[in-house]
Amino acid sequence: MDFGNADSWGAAIYFWIIPAVLGDAIFPPVPSEMVLITGGALSAEGRANLALVGLLAASASWAGDIVVFQLFKRRLSHVLDRWRWGRKLHHGIHDAIAKAGRSSTYGTIIGARFIPGGRLATSAAAGIADVSTGGFNLCAGLGAVLWATWLVGLGYFTGSATGLPFWASSLIGVAAGLVIGAVVGVIATRRRGSRSPVDEPDGPAETAP
C-alpha cells in the first residue's frame, strides 16, 4: 500500500473500519476515531463513499457494544480471568467504569460514548446492572449512529474546509476531536471517585498466570 496515495487509502478504508471499531469496543486505545475521521476526509476528496463509511462505522459500533453488554449481562466476564492479558483487560474495564461513572441510564448509554472510555464503560455497566436487552440495543444503535455521524462528519468537514491533502485534514480532525473529547471527559468525570462503582459477583481474580 502506498501511504501517500489517496486512492490506496480510499480502497482500504472500508476494510479497516469494522476491526478498528469492534476492537475499540473492548480496548479503547484502538484508534477507531482516527480511522473514521480519515474515512470522512477521504470522502471529502471523493476517494470513499461517505454513506458507506458511516454505515460500516455505526454497524460495527452497535455490534461491539452488544458484545460487551452481553458479556457482562450473562456474567461471562470471568472468562477473561483465565489469562494474564484477560485479567488486565478486566481490571481496565472496571477502571473505565470508575472514570466514566456508575450511570447505566439510557441517556448515558447514548451519550457517554463521546468521552474517552465511555463506550466500554457504559456497555459493561449496563450489562452488570441488568438493563433490558431491547432498551440497550435501541439506545446503543442510536448512539452508534450519532457517534459515527460525528466522527465521519468531522473528517468530511475538515477535508472540505481546509482543502488540504486527506492525511493533513485527518490530523486536524483528530486533534479537534481529541480536544473536544478531553473537555467533555473532564466535565463528565468531575467529582467522581476512582474506585469502580460496580461490584460483580465474579470479579477479576488475583491469581497467578
R_g of the chain computed on alpha carbons: 18
| Neighbouring residues of 112: CB distance < 8 A, sequence distance ≥ 6 | 100, 101, 103, 118, 119, 121, 122, 188
Q: Is pLDDT larger for residue 84 or for residue 34?
A: 34
Residue 143: closest CA among 59, 17, 28 = 59
Phi, psi of 11 (to 5 degrees): -75, -30
Question: 3-state SS of 160-193?
Answer: HHHCCCHHHHHHHHHHHHHHHHHHHHHHHHCCCC
How long is the chain?
209
Q: What number is the average pLDDT over the span 12-32?
A: 88
Summarize the confidence of residues 2-23 as an average pLDDT. 76
Separation CA 160–CA 173 (nearest Å)? 11
8 A C-beta contact, residue 121 and residue 93: yes
pLDDT of residue 187: 59
Cell 480519515, residue? 38
pLDDT tens digits, one per residue of 98-140: 555 544 577 778 887 887 777 888 888 888 888 889 999 999 9
Mean pLDDT (whole number) for 160-170: 80
Alpha-carbon distance 119 to 134, whole Å? 18
| Residue pair 41/9 in contact by the 8 Å Cβ criterion | no
pLDDT band per the 50, 70, 90 thresholds, residue 9: low
What is the model's pLDDT at position 8?
Answer: 60
Give the side-chain half-sphere CA count within 13 A for 43. Answer: 23
- Cα–Cα distance, 37 to 24 (Å, whole number): 15
Which cell numbers in the block locate residue 84?
494474564
Q: How far apart are CA 143 and CA 152, in angstroms?
A: 14
